[in-house]
A and B are shown apart, each in its own frame.
Chain A
Amino acid sequence: MATPLGKWTLALDGGAAPERSLIGGKAWSLARMRELDLPVPPAFVVTTQACTEFLKSGSEPPELAAELAAGIAWLEAQTGRSFGHGSKPLLVSVRSGASISMPGMMDTVLNLGINAATEAALAAECGDAAFARDTHRRFEELYRSIVLRGDPGEVPEAAPSQLQAAVRAVFDSWNSRRAKRYRQHNNIPDDLGTAVTVQAMVFGNLDANSGTGVLFTRNPLDGTPEPYGEYLARAQGEDVVSGKFTPKPLEEMRKTVPQALEALLAAARTLEHEHRDVQDIEFTVQQSKLWLLQSRAAKRAAPAALRIAVDLVNEERIDKATALSRVTPEQLASLTNPCLEDPDNGGKPPLAAGESACPGVGIGMVVTDSDEAEKRAAAGEHVVLARPTTSPEDLHGMIAAKAIITEQGGSTSHAAVVSRSLGRPCVVGCGDGSLTALKGRVVTVCGATGRIHDGPLPVMRPSEVNDFRLAQFMEWKRVAEQKN
């Protein structure tokens, strides 16, 4: 059991994980990771009981402020850093977490504990004033939008005040419009309450032996059973996501932080074993020491979903029923979608090319007007709709077309959004004037590669004949269906 810091808070110190209903799902998975002896940054939890008390009486339990201070003191002792002052500042994240996850709950506030003094200390410590400034700016932004909810107000300088306000905002979010509706709709009692997890932040940018990355226990694109991931030295998590820097393969860690890499690979095995599914693990290395930030079931592309489900059965990790539940009908359908026999078209340059917005192959005659597309399609013709951009009044033409191509716009444009919702192959942003000349020609649109080829090209449909895992999976599915 975790160690109580008082009546309402628990330090997650590696003992057996407390009840999920008491500490919420997020803290529970942290506690479970610590129980498995995995390195997660120290954290303490304000229990759901404190929230229930707050909901009942309308204010925080009187002991809470002192217990938050005790929790912070424990984090300070664990990390050797200090909260709100000192040369090595402790920053924390504050997140909500009920035993059942629900929408409308407070988002995570990061970098809490930063103020003018700790910004200066952090700048000196990592030798990067811009980073410290950015950390401060990001905190203020999050605090304004999440804690103050866009209303005017001050961001407190005193770190304990920041923490108290954030904890209260978590409690308040229990009664947000969305959370209330969700509970009502799903028959979840209104008095369960949410826990609050306060966790020490770690820094991947302190020196050359620090960095941040993500590891998938198997390749999430094709399912190859080998760890797959990226590492960016001297960086924080946002840097990887922002795309401003190019991360390196995990092997790069061997040069600077070999022990952290070994620990990471071992943790990956433990976590996949524990969860019996491919994991997506976020981690940070702070001065050669590995810290795991999060592990969750990885998002995966359809080919990976199939391969991983079949492989895990063959490795005796899951049973066939579980495997069948891990590949959705949509994923199966997409695995047998028609594709070009020769995606390269024998090296012949395409007529036009742009950004892939929705995969699939569509063949037809190019028309440039939505009304005409609708008319011709109604007469049984196959058409490809080409537009500079699309707007709501092109919808009927988009529904009628076999594929949609546009000259302007990117992957978030109207054409891209609508084509995906209709399942129409779509290529966007082919360039001004690039499509008008195609009017009246028969073309093949390859949504996956973003190319428009001259004439109708041969297509093929992947099948059980040429994919043994698909054959195995379909066989299990048939047997299961017969049993029912």
Chain B
Amino acid sequence: MQIPDAHLVLHGLAIKKHADAAAVGKLVGLPIERASKALADAVKRGRANEAQGRFILAPMARMALDGEYSKYYSDLRGNADFVAAYEGFERINVELKQLITDWQTIDVAGKRVPNDHSNAAHDEKVISRIGDMHERADKLFARLAAGLPRLQIYRDHLLQALEKAEDGAIEWISDARIDSYHTVWFELHEELLRLMGRTRVE
């Protein structure tokens, strides 16, 4: 089913709050002109608010949006390979969360303390484990993108973040202020929960 731009941009804002038109367009796979136009329409209709070129969903629009997914993604929800890949993602998500926790905190004699990144060996090991997990997860990303091509963007961004971290810019693992590996992973998770009509456990 053809999904209207009006839905796609609001969906983009549900994932990336305070995003500008370019970021929303990129995330949902729309050229910037179409994203800008759809966002401007949404503001006119009171479904989004704009401040300094950045957008957020209007509170009522959120509820309307939540009700639209079943309409636009019923085919996807019935696509057995996509659903299986999604379920695989949920399983590997548990591993990712543990890895990010191992990145941020270290076990010192059985006690968890914040990782101040003073132990290069620990950091290298965790990045290596994330890389290893990524290579397994990437097979799932490929299947997800086969079911819904615009999901390829997450796959590309995850690899970019990972490679930056592997090259020594370690903030690309979990810094919440940038499109770090964890930021993008979490956005992908949010995306999939919405597509599948599931809710988050924690």
Contacts and interface: CB of A to CB of B under 8 A. Distances in A.
Contact of A411 (B17, B101, B132): B101
A326 B167 CA distance: 23
A370 to B, nearest CB: 8
Contacts of A101: 121, 124
A366 to B, nearest CB: 20
Contacts of A416: 101
Contact of B113 (A296, A301, A409): A301
Interface in A285-327: 296-302, 304-305, 326-327
Interface in A370-393: 371, 389, 391-393
A87 interface: no
Interface in A406-421: 408-414, 416-418, 420-421
A107 interface: yes
A296 B27 CA distance: 44
B105 A411 contact: yes
Given A178-B128, A328-B118, A391-B186, 4 more contacts: A331-B118, A371-B56, A414-B202, A417-B97
| Interface-centre pick from B100, B101, B116 (highest chain A CB count, 10 A) | B116
B176 A181 contact: no
A299 B119 CA distance: 6
B18 A396 contact: yes
A358 B100 CA distance: 14
A407 B73 CA distance: 31
Contacts of A103: 124, 127-128, 131, 166
Interface string B98-116: 1011001111111111101
A228 B135 contact: no
B105 A395 contact: no
Interface stretch (A114-122, A215-223, A259-267): A215-223
A396 B18 CA distance: 9
Interface residues of A, number: 56
B182 A420 contact: no
A417 B111 contact: no
B114 A410 contact: no
A239 to B, nearest CB: 14
Contact of A220 (B108, B121, B132): B108
Contacts of A420: 104-105, 114, 174
B17 A395 contact: yes
B175 interface: yes
B109 A216 contact: yes
B190 A391 contact: yes
B14 interface: yes
Interface string A155-190: 000000000000000000000011001100100000
B122 interface: yes
A182 B124 CA distance: 11
B16 interface: yes
A417 B131 contact: no
A403 interface: no
Contact of A181 (B106, B163, B183): B163
7 contacts: A101-B121, A103-B128, A178-B128, A181-B163, A182-B166, A297-B121, A358-B114
Chain B interface size, as a band, is: 35 or more
Interface in B103-162: 104-114, 116-119, 121-122, 124, 127-128, 131-132, 135-136, 139
A104 interface: yes
A302 to B, nearest CB: 6
Contacts of B44: none
B108 A301 contact: yes
Interface in A396-441: 396, 398-399, 408-414, 416-418, 420-422
A421 B119 contact: no
A185 B15 CA distance: 33
The 5 lowest CB-CB distance pairs between A and B, nearest first, are: A409-B202, A412-B97, A330-B116, A103-B128, A420-B104
A417 B104 contact: yes
B24 to A, nearest CB: 13
Contacts of B110: 230
A76 B189 CA distance: 50
Contacts of A418: 176
Interface string B155-197: 0000000010011100000111100101100110010000000
B108 A181 contact: no
A150 interface: yes
Contacts of B167: 181, 185
B109 A422 contact: no
Contacts of B109: 216, 219-221, 228-229
B106 A299 contact: yes
A330 B116 CA distance: 6
B71 interface: no
Contacts of A185: 166-168
A450 to B, nearest CB: 12
B200 interface: yes
A113 interface: no
A417 B182 contact: yes
B186 A392 contact: yes
A230 B97 CA distance: 27
Contacts of A392: 15-17, 183, 186-187, 190
A181 B180 CA distance: 19
B180 to A, nearest CB: 8
B107 A398 contact: no
A229 B202 CA distance: 34
| Interface-centre pick from A219, A328, A330, A421 (highest chain B CB count, 10 A) | A421
Given A221-B109, A301-B108, A421-B104, A398 B118 contact: no
A328 B186 contact: no
A393 B17 contact: yes
A101 B127 CA distance: 13
B186 A181 contact: no
Contacts of B180: 421
Interface string B72-92: 000000000000000000000
B176 A395 contact: yes
A104 B202 contact: no
A299 B15 CA distance: 37
